[in-house]
Homo-oligomer: A and B are copies of this chain.
Amino acid sequence: MEAWRTSIVDSRDGSIRIRGYDVTTLMTARTFTDTVFLLHQKRLPTPAERALLDAILTAVADHGAGAPSCAAARLAASGNRQSLSAAVAAGILAVGDEHGGAGMGCMEMIVAGVARARREGVSIAEAAARTVTDARGRGERLPGLGHRVHSIDPRTRVLFDLARANSLAGDGIAFLEAVAQVVAQQIKPLPINVDGALAAVLHDMGFPPPFGRLVFIIGRVAGLTAEVAEELTRERPMRIHIPVTYDGEAPRPVE
């Protein structure tokens, strides 16, 4: 078999290098968040970039035991206490476009919107307006707006303020705020949620759209591990009973 190629880690007897940096130096001179940034950006972050990434990872770490990812991890732990990996993985599998995954779609919308402003020679605000019009025409939801629990997501303001205070705010934040404003005028106020906020900030920090989902997974795994540990420590096996109503075919004989 041909060897696989990689530009991430070079590991040989007595030496492990991540993107060229010796792991033992990273372990003492840098933080884990720096390592996350390095793995995905191929360079170490500035203090401002580190602060933003720390804020994002903490923002998505956990949202309560009833979130689909947390609940799926607990259900797996409830039936399968032999494998911590299995329970955490089950939690991650609940992450998609609908749960924790809007960041990626929102980053794709931002990339397209900013390119459109350039291509059509209009302002970011006008590109946002056109994006909203198009989405409404296709009957599509705009990713990154609204939340099923929060009428105003408290994490959004913190991320945007932090980006501005660190001079990291750019077209991404501008575009998404313009989208939210147009939506508020034309439809109804739908505050930017944490997925939208992290999408705008990560775009302005130069990350590609898929990182909008991967960063959620990295942060959420911290919460999932705690949920699984609590389930195994505090609860007995198979304690979960989901109530079910059957509304299918009446009893019938096998012909």
Query: Which residues of A are in contact with B by a Cβ distance under 8 Å?
Result: 1, 3-36, 39-40, 42, 44, 51, 53-55, 57-59, 61-66, 68-69, 71-72, 74-76, 78-90, 92-101, 104, 148-152, 154-155, 157-159, 162, 208, 210-211, 213-214, 217-219, 221-223, 225-230, 232, 234, 237-238, 240-255
Return the contact of A23 from the options B58, B98, B213 (Cβ within 8 A): B58
Question: Copy number of this protein in the oligomer?
Answer: 4
What would 14 A/B residue contacts be, using CB atoms closer than 8 Å? A4-B65, A7-B248, A10-B248, A16-B64, A32-B58, A36-B61, A40-B229, A69-B79, A78-B99, A79-B94, A80-B99, A81-B98, A89-B89, A214-B228
Contact A61 B32 (CB under 8 A): yes
Q: How far is the CB of A102 from chain B (nearest CB, A)?
A: 11
* A80 contact set on B, CB distance < 8 A: 83, 85, 93-99, 101
Contact B254 A22 (CB under 8 A): yes
Q: How far is the CB of A141 from chain B (nearest CB, A)?
A: 10
* A218 contact set on B, CB distance < 8 A: 221-222, 225
Q: How far is the CB of A213 from chain B (nearest CB, A)?
A: 5
